[in-house]
Copies of this chain bind each other. A is one copy, B any other.
């Protein structure tokens, strides 16, 4: 399916919702893809079933702290350099690319690469949202080696990392990302299409577009965008979505440290609604209302503008903003013990147990 300008904008909006405050603002990535579309390049999104089993798929993404992405604009060259380096290592050409992360800017980077190289983009990803670390992937949960992986910086520098441990892959690639200026381009989890079908979350680019379109249409019709979001999610793998809290930002602590944006945002509720504190590592990890956990990873904690339901990323949160905190349940495939070990609370150093958000409402 060929992506239209409107489809692109809807996809970026939905990806920002699934970015759960992190993932890098897709706005910048969207503008880069728009340039390609306006220059006459095609963005062809294909289903996971449209490739032969043995076709090589090279997932692509940016790596780094979202706080850096807004200071250092992404370039098309980095993505091409990363893909080319990995193709050379493998001695094969890629048949397609795909997101490893459909939330945030990494929904857009594979589209940019696909447009530039004439490669189709598989409609699937390995997170179904955004997570901060490379091992936090369904690919990893289901045994796909992350390496050989490639990484490219802004100066044309590249590296190929090889390790049999996807956590060490993250550790080593993060070190290079920091030294490449805090943002880099990667291709990891090289795999054939049969493996994509076995391990990826299917249809997540379409899901982003569906969410983004629902928000747009609600605004156009002057309907409540939050109600539209809840109605839309009910028909997706995410089934449950609900407003958790409405309030005003009263404090933001944010540091870019060891390659991540870490910190917390504090919101005061309207009409005595209590105090909500959201802790983040690139993405929102846990939301505590007056000290009680009300949502926790891998469930999604989204910060949306209270008027427009436009997603607000952690690097854009400012004192006084009126924010609606909206939570979304993750599908069962992301709540298995194996999955929670990789991207549940303990994977982020949190001691709180995982409790499904729909039971905390």
Contacts and interface: CB of A to CB of B under 8 A. Distances in A.
Interface of A: 85, 89, 155-165, 168, 171-172, 174-176, 178-180
A163 B89 CA distance: 16
Give this chain's copy count.
Answer: 2
Contact of A162 (B85, B165, B168): B85
A165 B174 CA distance: 21
A156 B160 contact: no
Nearest to A163: B157
Nearest to A171: B179
5 contacts: A158-B162, A159-B172, A159-B176, A172-B180, A175-B176
A25 to B, nearest CB: 26
A173 to B, nearest CB: 9
A120 B199 CA distance: 47
B157 A160 contact: no
A86 to B, nearest CB: 11
A70 to B, nearest CB: 23
Contact of A179 (B156, B162, B164, B175): B175
A179 B163 CA distance: 13
Contact of A164 (B156, B160, B175, B176): B156
Which 8 A-B residue pairs are closest in the complex by CB-CB distance? Answer: A175-B179, A157-B163, A175-B175, A160-B160, A159-B161, A158-B162, A159-B159, A172-B179
Contact of A155 (B161, B165, B174): B165
A220 B18 CA distance: 76
A161 B157 contact: yes
Contacts of A155: 163, 165, 168
Nearest to A160: B160
Contact of A172 (B160, B162, B163, B176): B176
Contacts of A89: 89, 160
A162 B157 contact: yes
